[in-house]
Amino acid sequence: MPKMHNPFLAICFSSLLFLSQFISPQQSHAETQLPDIGGSGYSIISLQQEYNLGRAWARMLRGSAKIYEDALVSQYVEDLTWSLVTHSQLTDRRLEILVLDNPSINAFAAPGGIIGVHTGLILTAKNEGQLASVLAHELAHLSQRHFAAQLEEQRQNRPFFLLSMLGSLLVAAADPEAGMVALQSTMASSASSKLSFSRQNEREADYLGMQTLTSAGYSPYAMAEMFNQLQEAARFSRVPPEFLLTHPVTQSRVSDALNRAEQFKNKEQRLNTFHFNIIRARVQAHYAKDKTQLLEKYEALKQKASTDDLLYAIAFTAIQNKKFDLAKQEMKNFSSQFKKRLSARLLKAELLMAQEKYREAVAEFEKLRGLYPDNHAVSYLYAESLLHLGQPAKASQIYEALLENQPDDSRAWYLLAESYGLEGNIVGVHEARIEYFLLTANVDRALKQVDYALRDPQLSSHEKARLEQRKEDALQIRKSLEMRP
């Protein structure tokens, strides 16, 4: 079989191979009747098969889309999602949450507990409640196993429809316009009866998502407000948000959300948290083409009300714009209470890093790591500062500790390989690169890295055995990516 050079074609082809194991167009009409929604008795695909498919798909996604590198933002999205999980109907909680560096508006749930969030969704949401409403909706898709339900529905008439949709979502994660074309083509090729089944899924996800949202303490009106935000974004965009292509928002859907909200209106409600405003400010600064103009906007808002989160937004943007005096000035005006919070203390260390005062920055990070030993943002920035000080061995220890908690963090493996290289740990470089390649679906490169490492005559028998085992693991991962039993 000739090698596929287009990664997206390879993804779609591999996925189709997988589905062919489970879908049989010749089965009788009686066999296509849906089981109870949310149950575990799907004949077409088991929970474990969904999980395996999701993890294979996550590897492909990491290799084709850009993961957002601000660990403070990523950890916030993860923490927010997990805070909702405890109030949801999700029983299989083997989740992986990926934040993609993409200003387009999108979020998606893939089989096996994969949740993807584009940073553009954070920019579109006006408060945490709105962002939480989308996450709650995606959790409902997972808890009700809508992927398996659609496979059951599609297997007789259009067995590969849903996989085409899944492949289109992956294209959209890397290229919004190409993804839109792929999604429109997929949707257009489906019969209207199949689209109505999709609408049924959306209604159910809205209903259960609102239950999760309100149980977590958020305003039930946040979901309808977010729908309105999405519709507004579509009006002024040449390319409709991907989220609207896979989750069509109609006026009736907004009305349904408002009617449901009335049932929960007497419950304790919240719309926002201070932390959301800080995270949103970081994302805004990341995408701002003219940071001076953004600073002017913030300064105008400051004339109306000077709050800690607004001062933070000014200071962070000023650091990105290398206006360090302005940043220091705004940080001095933080309230005494805010100065004690992680986000403010982390910003102080980030300012020192931007000024290349790495020794002082390391001192700050050491204090923070004592207080927040598992915080990803602290770990990433601490390790980076150590590298600038010429202490790669210590930086490697930080990355290793980070990976103990997050073994699927491809970025951490990449940086660990760099750190190992600086300290002269050649075997470590090989092993870290192998892990990175496997997590990004580059199995051929992983196998080449193993072969290259095994040529080293200085390897111990233990190191050789470890590398040989990773070679076997890589071959198994290749099978999973090809979706073969």
Mean pLDDT for back-to-back runs of 10 residues, the chain (485 residues):
41 39 36 37 66 83 92 95 91 90 89 90 94 92 74 56 55 50 45 48 83 90 84 65 59 70 68 87 96 95 92 97 97 96 96 97 96 93 97 97 94 97 96 95 94 92 94 88 58
What's residue 242's pLDDT? 59
What's residue 197's pLDDT? 37
What's residue 38's pLDDT? 40
The answer to pTM > 0.95 is no
Q: Mutual orientation of helices 308-320 and 291-304 as an angle, nearest 10°?
A: 160
**What are the tokens at 428?**
């470590």
- Look at residue 65 and give its three-state secondary structure: coil
Residue 28 counted as domain residue: yes
Using a 10 angstrom Cβ sphere, with 0-12 exposed, 13-18 middle and 19 or more buried, the burial of residue 228 is middle
What's residue 203's pLDDT? 81
Task: Report d(CA 20, CA 14) in Å as an integer.
Answer: 10
What's residue 283's pLDDT? 98
Task: Report d(CA 248, CA 206) in Å as an integer.
Answer: 12
- Look at residue 80 and give its three-state secondary structure: helix
Whether residue 34 contacts residue 153, with contact meaning beta carbons closer than 8 Å, is answered with: yes
Residue 23 counted as domain residue: yes
Residue 408: how many other CB atoms lie within 10 Å: 15
Residue 377 counted as domain residue: no
Residue 18 counted as domain residue: yes
Given the structure tokens 């257009």, which residue do they identify? 188
Residue 75 counted as domain residue: yes
Residue 357 counted as domain residue: no
Task: Report d(CA 473, CA 475) in Å as an integer.
Answer: 5
Residue 277 counted as domain residue: no
Task: Report d(CA 332, CA 318) in Å as an integer.
Answer: 14
What's residue 436's pLDDT? 96
- Residue ranges making up the domain that contains 238: 7-263
**What are the tokens at 247?**
């989750």
C-alpha to C-alpha distances, 115 to 54, 118, 120, 202, nearest whole angstrom: 10, 10, 15, 16
Task: Report d(CA 168, CA 291) in Å as an integer.
Answer: 34
Task: Report d(CA 104, CA 245) in Å as an integer.
Answer: 12
**How many independent structural domains does the chain possess?**
1
Indicate the residue type of 198: S
C-alpha to C-alpha distances, 418 to 346, 365, 395, 431, 433, nearest whole angstrom: 24, 21, 10, 12, 9
Task: Report d(CA 330, CA 287) in Å as an integer.
Answer: 21
Residue 319 counted as domain residue: no
What's residue 186's pLDDT? 47
According to DSSP, the β-strands at 96-100 and 114-118 are parallel
What's residue 4's pLDDT? 37
